[in-house]
Amino acid sequence: MRSLATTCAALALTAAALPALADPDPADWDAVLDEARGQTVYWSAWGGSTATNDFIAWAGDRLKEEYGVTVEHVKLADTADAVTRVLSEKQAGQDADGAVDLIWINGPNFKAMKEADLLFGPFAEQLPNWQYVDVDGKTVQTDFTVPTEGYEAPWAMAQVVFMHDTDDLPERLPNMGAILDWAQANPGRFTYPQPPDFLGTTFLKQVLLEAVENPEVLMHPASDADYDAVVAPLWDYLDELTPALWRSGRAYPASGPAQLQLIADDEIDLAISFSPGEASTAIADFRLPDTVRTFVLDKGTLGNASFVAIPYNSGSKAGAMVLANFLMSPVAQVHAQDPEVLGYGTVLDMDKLPDADRAEFDALELGVATLSPDELGEVRPEPHPSWTTRIAEDWQSRYGTGQ
């Protein structure tokens, strides 16, 4: 069976080219607002977190109240499910009124949709709230090295941090070598979600980023010519780490929330997160003990933006743009950054905000376990999507449960 990426690529070669931009026109915002009123936007987004689901419900309430747009959260276990749905509709000739109006998307899925002409746009950089986005200091115009070119709108920033229970692991660990040493000295007290879960795959990329001799090679597509040599240090590291993991690496938590539960149950003391505020949020709603803190590595940790994109055949493009614009608004961004809500990093540039909006961010208590922007250190860019896909597949054959 061909992979999703291969099918999308083949479709891109055979399908007629779509227009660069279809109506409605994001440059005519008043017309967009008029057309959006009364529309229903089916937002396909990961549904594995209660906090995220609650935030999406809050955004839907605001859109209904302020713009007359209804938001229906289509909860996904895997973003590729929504991509496959759009692809299937295009293959069937359903070029209007598709089932998906907006997708929370990143990396390989965005690359596949963009290359197969499955996206509406460009639209993002014409939205009114784009004026506040930090285009210089944050990775909001590339997605895993792929230029977004206005085909997706950023709405949250993420960066790898490690959560540790200070009752059992008092001090931060400075690098992946130290994590390996600690895990071997404390067997069973560390794990990561099972790839291809995005967080588990992120752990693999973080290891590779630090282990590879020349990180620049990861910014280009993975090549058969050098793939084995580049990733060999990753497998060497995991060969040493795996026996020291929770359940000796014979089982893995299925997701980030499942990993958090292991800390709460005192089964592990160290876990990976892609949200600097997640630990504070989990402490605030009693999902983690208040002894948990976070740290980053000396040479920096991976970071990226979360985006939303609109399929080419959405029947509610205006409503989808209104939602994407709202997600970039100061009011939505400060709400998402609140550790009692999501604890997500903002995509906005504080220097571009009106004084009143900036004051809302300044007044926000980031939470007991959240590092300050200075403490977060260097943000390392995501590798090209081809590395993500390939190492996740290879991990399953090497270390997947049942091996």
For residue 9, what pLDDT is reported? 52
| Cα 218 to Cα 84: distance, rounded to the nearest angstrom | 27
Give one DSSP letter per residue of 26-93, joined into a string. TTSHHHHHHHHTT-EEEEEEE---HHHHHHHHHHHHHHHHHH--EEEEEEES-HHHHHHHHHHHHHTT
Q: What's the pLDDT score for residue 23? A: 72
- Note the pLDDT of residue 379: 85
Asked if residue 377 has pLDDT above 90, the reply is no
- Strands of the 161-165 sheet, one edge to the other: 270-273, 161-165, 292-295
Instruction: Fill in the DSSP letter of residue 146.
Output: E
- Tokens standing for 258? 């499942």
Q: pLDDT-based confidence at 20, cuts 50/70/90? A: very low
Helix 355-362 / helix 330-337 crossing angle, nearest 10 deg: 10
* Count of CB atoms situated within 10 Å of the CB of 174: 13
Select the more confidently predicted residue: 9 or 243: 243
Asked whether the predicted pLDDT for residue 11 surpasses 60, the reply is no
Helices (H), 124-250: 176-185, 198-211, 227-241
Distance between CA atoms of residues 212 and 71, nearest Å:
43
Chain position carrying tokens 């994001």: 26
pLDDT per residue as tens digits for the range 59-68: 999 999 999 9
Rg from Cα positions in the chain: 21
User: Quick one: 292 exposed, middle or buried, by C-beta within 10 A (0-12, 13-18, 19+)?
Assistant: buried
pLDDT given at position 6? 53
pLDDT of residue 271: 97
Residue 378's pLDDT band, with cuts at 50, 70 and 90, is: confident
Report the 10 Å Cβ neighbour count for 163: 24
- Does this model's pTM top 0.75? yes
pLDDT of residue 107: 86
Q: What is the mean pLDDT of residues 322-330?
A: 98
What pLDDT, on the 0 to 100 scale, is given for residue 255? 93
Helix (H) or strand (E) segment spanning residue 305: strand 301-309
Classify strands 292-295 and 70-76 as parallel, antiparallel or unpaired: unpaired
Contacts of 30 (CB under 8 A, 6+ apart): none
**pLDDT of residue 340 exceeding 90:** no
Could you tell me which of 281, 393, 228, 229 has the C-alpha nearest to residue 52?
A: 281
pLDDT recorded at residue 28: 97
Domains of the chain, with CATH numbers? 4-155+306-368 (3.40.190.10), 159-303+380-399 (3.40.190.10)
* Extended beta strands in 94-202, E state: 102-105, 142-143, 146-147, 153-159, 161-165
Distance CA 336, CA 345 (A): 8
